């Protein structure tokens, strides 16, 4: 605990001056995830800092790995995410270590999806909202703040000096919770909206709010699907907005995603992109938020804004860790040049840091500097031969360079190193799939799937296992079950329908195969494998003319398809 500042209160006979004590928690930015690392049962567990989550979560895979006992949730408690209800249980961690301190009896909900970026769960508001908190993610820190004295009339942005400070009144939520969500009124295109400040998400606007602003459908560009804590997906678009105002700070000509979600009781999420571009203090007693602008994008899809101080160079920092954390923050804002400068400085101060070498390698990759990236991964592995991120990154790089033997060495090393439940096993399966080693895909997926009751990537994993078995012509009954489950998750996914159609073709169920091929091609008519498979089915069903037309169409999309189909022992008609 350290003394941060003493703030001057107005004169008062009995009032004690306001002062702040802080417990700083280092945060590593991994892509768009703010990650705090805790220790549970002697194992380091990286957790996504998520101010939008009312409670802390662990994934079922990590609960299994750490041998935690999971019981039912309290009666009547339901967990809702952006895209639906989450099936979950409850566990208690007897002791969690964080920043040299110990927290006894920490409860976690067990369930939901893996948050991404290698994290194993979420640090939610049952930790983040126990006291005042400062979010300084651009510099790689959050701080639990403990005010002392009379702070009721204080402006709490103690770091601001002569910078403009924005002040925002926070709303009380309907539940009157002691751990309320960070919500406030903002303005988008001049209309007042309710916004949730959520470090675990990217900024977005609800479809209903966009419609209320008069955004026409013709101005919304389709942008795929968005996932949340639940298993479902929501449709996503992007659109331009004339103005956004929060706490008196105005941003013009912004582009923000629009997502078709409901049940969240909010019109807008202000996510990790907003937190990276601001330094924020949240006062529980005042029910206010204070923030200053750091520079960079306010919204991830918008143009890069000017620096907070024109021509100002980045301030010097105390140690290598601080430079590494600031560099990771810059990389998360896609300011890769600034990230590279900070990571270079961190490695000058501490050359033997394998984790920072991996960070810098990722930045080099983002800048399309392949030789520099692989050099960093090689250097990291000379220092720590078992560094998992470096092994995985080098394996992907070697595979892309057609260095099959080198990629296999890295994959096999990771396979020996990782616990069965590790999230990286899905990546290993995908690497094996790219290399055509389907017999090695299945064991990786078996381990990944067995450790997860539900996950947003489950449907894709089931489809991959179905496809691998189909190609190998083994376990077709189980392959069909996997494809059926995948389609239950996403009924209109053309790739999933295509996979099941080929399984049914292998099983001789020609009419059912034809139905699935038709469905897949109705959704996406340029799928070469689906077109080819339908050609084979039509030929066997006595429609050779239609079948030949499909085969020729498939060959135009993928000229090598005859060779690929033959490789797996499937009946192919040469063109």
Residue 313: the pLDDT is 60
pLDDT of residue 213: 93
What token pair was written down for 38?
A: 């805790």
- pLDDT for the residue 306: 40
Question: Quick count: other Cβ atoms within 10 Å of Cβ 10?
Answer: 9
* Residue partners of 93: CB distance under 8 A and separation at least 6: 40, 41, 68, 105, 106, 107, 108
Q: Which domains does the chain have, with CATH numbers?
A: 2-148 (2.40.70.10), 166-273+285-293 (2.40.70.10), 457-575 (1.25.40.10)
537 burial (CB, 10 Å; 0-12 / 13-18 / 19+) is: buried
Q: Which is it for the CA torsion 486, 487, 491, 497, positive or negative?
A: positive
Q: Are 476 and 494 in contact (CB under 8 A)?
A: no
- Report the relative pairing of strands 28-30 and 166-169 from DSSP bridges: unpaired
CB 94 within 8 A of CB 104: yes
Q: What pTM, to 2 d.p., does this model score?
A: 0.77
φ/ψ of residue 530, rounded to 5: -65, -40
pLDDT tens track for 392-421: 999 999 999 999 999 999 999 999 999 998
Whole-number Å distance between alpha carbons of 224 and 247: 32
Confirm if 503 and 486 have CB atoms less than 8 A apart. Answer: no
Q: What is the pLDDT of residue 2?
A: 54
Specify burial of residue 476 (Cβ count, 10 A radius: 0-12, 13-18, 19+): middle
pLDDT by residue for the chain (575 residues), tens only, comes to 555 555 554 444 446 788 899 888 899 888 888 999 989 888 888 999 999 888 899 988 888 888 899 888 776 566 665 545 567 788 988 888 887 677 888 889 888 777 777 788 899 998 898 899 999 999 999 999 999 988 888 899 999 988 899 999 999 866 556 778 899 999 999 999 999 999 988 899 999 999 999 999 889 888 776 665 444 567 888 899 999 999 989 988 888 989 887 656 789 999 998 999 999 999 998 999 999 998 777 776 665 444 443 344 667 877 888 899 889 888 888 889 999 999 999 999 999 999 999 999 999 999 999 999 999 999 999 999 999 999 999 999 999 999 999 999 999 999 999 999 899 999 999 999 999 999 999 999 999 999 887 777 899 999 999 999 999 999 999 999 999 999 998 999 999 999 999 999 999 999 999 999 999 999 999 999 999 999 999 999 998 889 999 999 999 999 999 999 999 988 655 44
For residue 527, what is the enclosing H or E element? none
In tens, the pLDDT along 360-383 reads 999 999 999 999 999 999 999 999
What's the confidence (pLDDT) of residue 176? 59
């Amino acid at each position: 605990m350290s003394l941060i500042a003493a703030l001057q209160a107005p004169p008062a006979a009995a009032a004690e001056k306001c002062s702040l004590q802080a417990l700083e928690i280092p945060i590593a930015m991994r892509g768009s995830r703010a990650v705090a690392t805790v220790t549970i049962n002697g194992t380091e567990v990286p957790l996504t800092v998520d101010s939008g989550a009312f409670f802390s979560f662990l994934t079922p895979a990590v609960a299994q790995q750490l041998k935690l006992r999971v019981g039912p949730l309290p009666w009547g408690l339901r967990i809702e995410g952006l895209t639906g209800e989450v099936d979950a249980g409850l566990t208690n961690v007897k002791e969690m270590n964080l920043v040299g301190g110990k927290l006894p009896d920490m409860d976690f909900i067990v369930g939901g999806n893996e948050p991404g970026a290698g994290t194993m769960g979420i640090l939610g508001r049952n930790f983040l909202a126990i006291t005042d908190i400062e979010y300084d993610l651009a510099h790689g820190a959050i701080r639990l703040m403990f005010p002392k004295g009379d702070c009721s009339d204080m402006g709490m942005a103690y770091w601001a000096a002569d910078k403009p400070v924005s002040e925002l009144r926070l709303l009380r939520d309907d539940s009157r919770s002691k751990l309320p969500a960070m919500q406030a009124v903002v303005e988008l295109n001049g209309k007042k909206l309710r916004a949730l400040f959520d470090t675990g998400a990217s900024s977005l606007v609800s479809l209903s709010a966009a419609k209320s602003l008069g955004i026409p459908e013709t101005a919304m560009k389709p942008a795929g699907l968005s996932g949340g804590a639940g298993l479902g997906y929501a449709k996503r678009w992007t659109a331009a907005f004339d103005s956004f105002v929060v706490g008196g700070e105005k941003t013009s000509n912004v582009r923000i995603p629009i997502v078709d979600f409901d049940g969240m009781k909010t019109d807008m999420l202000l996510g990790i992109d907003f937190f990276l571009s601001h330094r924020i203090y949240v006062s529980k007693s005042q029910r206010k938020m204070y923030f200053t602008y750091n520079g960079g994008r306010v919204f991830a899809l918008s143009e890069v804004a000017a620096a907070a101080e024109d021509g100002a160079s980045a301030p010097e920092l105390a140690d290598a860790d601080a430079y590494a954390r600031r560099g990771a923050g810059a990389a998360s804002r896609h300011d890769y040049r600034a990230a590279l400068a900070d990571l270079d400085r961190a490695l000058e101060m501490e050359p033997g840091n394998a984790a920072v070498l991996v960070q810098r390698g990722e930045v080099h990759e983002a800048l399309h500097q392949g030789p520099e990236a692989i050099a960093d991964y090689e250097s990291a592995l000379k220092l720590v031969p078992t560094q998992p991120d470096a092994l995985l990154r080098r394996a992907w790089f070697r595979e892309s360079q057609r260095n099959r033997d080198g990629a296999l060495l890295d994959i096999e090393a990771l396979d020996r190193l990782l616990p069965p439940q590790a999230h990286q096993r899905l990546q290993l399966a995908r690497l094996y799939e790219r290399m055509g080693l389907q017999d090695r895909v299945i064991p990786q997926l078996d381990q990944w799937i067995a450790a997860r009751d539900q996950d947003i990537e489950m449907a894709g994993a089931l489809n991959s296992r179905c496809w691998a078995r189909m190609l190998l012509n083994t376990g077709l009954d189980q392959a069909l079950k996997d494809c059926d489950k995948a389609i239950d998750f996403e009924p209109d996914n053309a790739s999933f329908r295509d996979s099941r159609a080929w399984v049914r073709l292998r099983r001789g169920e020609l009419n059912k195969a034809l139905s699935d091929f038709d469905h897949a091609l109705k959704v996406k008519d340029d799928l070469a494998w689906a077109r080819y498979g339908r050609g084979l089915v039509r030929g066997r069903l006595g429609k050779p003319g239609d079948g030949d037309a499909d085969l020729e169409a498939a060959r135009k999309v993928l000229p090598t398809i005859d060779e690929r189909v033959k490789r797996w022992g499937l009946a192919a008609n040469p063109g």
